[in-house]
Amino acid sequence: MTNRRRPLAALALLLATVSACGPAPAETPVTPLTGSGPKPTPTAAPGDVPFAPLVWPVSGSACGSTMQRGGTTRLGRVQAVDARTVVFTLCVPDGAFLARLAHPSMGIVDAADLARIAANPSALRDVSGHGDYRPVQWGSDNVELARVGPASSDAAAATLILRWASDPATRAADLVNSSVDGIDAPTPESLDSAATTPALTVVRRPLLATTLLGFGRGPFSDARVRRAIAFGIDTGSLAEAFPAGAVAADHVPPCEIAAGCAGTAFRAFNAPASVADLQGLKFNLDATYPLVIPDAPIPGLPDPAGVASALHDQLAANLGLTVAVQPMSADAFRASVDDGSLTGLFLDGIVASVADPSAFYGPLFLDHPQSLAARRAGRAIHDLLVAAGDPAAAARSSAYAAAATRLRDSVPLAPLVHPGAQTVFRSDVKNLGTSPLGEDPLGTMIAGDRGQVVFEQANAPAGGWCGAQPSPDAYRLCGLVTDGLYGYPPVSPDPTPRLASACTPNANATVWMCRLRQERTSSGLLLDAADVVATIRAMADPADPVHRALGDAAFTSWTDLFSLTAGSALQPAATPTPAPSGSPSGSAPSATPSGGGSLPASSAPAPSASAAASPAH
């Protein structure tokens, strides 16, 4: 377990020097960190071309098709029925569809840019998106972005500079010497020092993650036993066994997402009451019980051994419950949890790719019906979670609230901690905020009177389109450059329209019709529905030229967003092919699936100029 209380001597000296001198003056300049060569001449984009209807797949439906890394696709068909209308036909009802559209990887790219990327992947660097910024110069360790058009507010920085340095100590030193305005992922040692340095401000970054206590086979079939053990754990103290930024969990999803904390929270820590409950139930506290953990970090559980050690000590001190930590290979651990064969207590974790409660509850209680958690949750919770597929926000919140309250009573598993992370900024930077997905609102920040914001992260982004980059460090850049049909406002959990004026579902949320705004890219190209279909096709179809040029690994975010786990309780529904009018309807006949295997390859003739990125599918 990492000890966060031992500052590195050199870094502590730097921080102490800044602290002694007080906050850096607002007028301290931050030198633009651009490359030494001349600024590149942007590639001339072709003019607008007439809209031509486009559909993917070209016939039938993708429902039943296998995605990379297993599972089948949630998206059966996407159709540009006119220049301003896109219709999505899904394989299962999906009340979280807007949250999927709001993910930064769903940024829309003009078909002309897609054609350039297919011909030359380095064209990712100068994509002309619909966002507020565009890259104007790339250096070896930084990229400079300029605001597109007039500022939407006085808080919009005219220039952003994104730097990268893999060494966290280097990032901390750059912040201390005022080379940058903020850094991501500092070392634990520098965080301790920064917290007491007036010139610096530490800002927590919530993550879409939860660490869980599971109850395997053995004397845990009684919900009263599970409640007593769960409420005898001091989750606030347990969070200290995690990297800085972790907080105690009282719901399965984190509160930062809409409806994440709907319903009754797990009751506060009360060891004496838990001991009395266990004694009253005649639970054998003289026995030793297994505490099974994976032998390597897994999503949502970054340090299994360290957390197990802390929990071991708590259970003994708070409840008189003795456990023996038993590591298991990560693959065998996952299989045993999913099929319900594991014995004893166990530590588990989950990380969601979608900022929606379904991304937490679904994998735990719907996707693996043989798991003990799913079986102990029971039919009532199962039905509530399925009902939460309703697209109406109020109905979804009500269903999640009812499910959370029942989970609090039956405790098929217990949420322990929401892992988090930290960022550090100079104290004169205003309008601070972070995003769980990495797309931090840098453009709304004010860095003293410097007129620009300079931020340093660990890894270099590949370009301005998030669809081909599965990393939060990439999203920090491309989230400023490209926009999606929906997005998230700064520090908000609610998906809001961006390039779409609205997306509305049919009655069972299997067909969504999106109306587009009149928007142009930074190079002046007009958005139309064929651009949306071409962008989706580039991510979803392995036969698409863009997909082939960049490789499957570039599109793992698409898989995470739109894969449906085999065996899930959410079975594919009838998938109607929308009528050309684009009016959502759940009563049309089911489209013919393309079958199991990979997504259908292209067999259509060459596209019109408006879909020049790849052959129509």
**Within this chain, do residues 226 and 326 fall inside the same structural domain, yes or no?**
yes
Confidence grade of residue 50 (pLDDT, cut at 50, 70, 90): confident
Q: What is the pTM of this model?
A: 0.84
**Within this chain, do residues 242 and 388 fall inside the same structural domain, yes or no?**
yes
CA gap 96, 218 in Å, rounded: 36
Helical H runs in 315-392? 330-339, 358-361, 372-387
Q: Is the pLDDT score of 197 beyond 90? A: no
CA gap 484, 500 in Å, rounded: 8
- Among the candidates 418, 444, 469, a domain finishes at 418
- Angle in degrees, 0-180, between the axes of helices 529-540 and 111-119, rounded to the nearest 10: 30
**Within this chain, do residues 388 and 256 fall inside the same structural domain, yes or no?**
yes
pLDDT confidence of residue 8? 34
Nearest to 467 by CA among 457, 488, 482, 480: 482
Confidence grade of residue 219 (pLDDT, cut at 50, 70, 90): very high
Confidence grade of residue 570 (pLDDT, cut at 50, 70, 90): low
Kindly state the helix (H) or strand (E) to which residue 279 belongs, with its residue range: helix 271-280
CA gap 613, 477 in Å, rounded: 23
**Within this chain, do residues 309 and 215 fall inside the same structural domain, yes or no?**
yes
**Within this chain, do residues 304 and 402 fall inside the same structural domain, yes or no?**
yes
The verdict on residue 554 lying in a domain is yes
331: number of Cβ within 10 Å = 11
For residue 277, the Cα-to-chain-centroid distance in whole angstroms is: 39
Per residue in 240-272, pLDDT tens?
Answer: 999 999 999 999 999 999 999 999 998 789 999
CATH number at residue 273: 3.10.105.10
Q: Which domain holds residue 214?
A: 209-418
Average pLDDT of the residues in 494-510: 95
**Token output for 130:** 């619909």
Confidence grade of residue 71 (pLDDT, cut at 50, 70, 90): confident
The verdict on residue 319 lying in a domain is yes
**Within this chain, do residues 137 and 156 fall inside the same structural domain, yes or no?**
yes
CATH number at residue 154: 3.40.190.10
Per residue in 308-351, pLDDT tens?
Answer: 999 999 999 999 999 999 999 999 999 999 999 999 999 999 99
**Within this chain, do residues 467 and 432 fall inside the same structural domain, yes or no?**
yes
Lowest-pLDDT range of 118-122, 270-274, 328-332, 468-472: 468-472
**Within this chain, do residues 218 and 348 fall inside the same structural domain, yes or no?**
yes
Nearest to 143 by CA among 553, 460, 432: 460
Q: Is the pLDDT score of 599 beyond 50? A: no
- Among the candidates 433, 455, 482, a domain finishes at 482
CA gap 336, 327 in Å, rounded: 13
Average pLDDT of the residues in 213-220: 96
> Over the chain, what is the mean pLDDT?
85
Nearest to 128 by CA among 106, 112, 151: 112
Confidence grade of residue 196 (pLDDT, cut at 50, 70, 90): confident
CA gap 510, 520 in Å, rounded: 29
549: number of Cβ within 10 Å = 18
Nearest to 79 by CA among 53, 97, 101: 53
pLDDT confidence of residue 568? 64
Q: Is the pLDDT score of 5 beyond 50? A: no
pLDDT confidence of residue 493? 78
The verdict on residue 31 lying in a domain is no
Average pLDDT of the residues in 412-423: 96
Per residue in 386-407, pLDDT tens?
Answer: 999 888 889 999 999 999 999 9
CA gap 447, 427 in Å, rounded: 9
Nearest to 252 by CA among 207, 210, 216: 210
- Among the candidates 376, 395, 418, a domain finishes at 418
Number of domains in the chain: 3
pLDDT confidence of residue 557? 94
CA gap 91, 58 in Å, rounded: 16
**Within this chain, do residues 298 and 367 fall inside the same structural domain, yes or no?**
yes
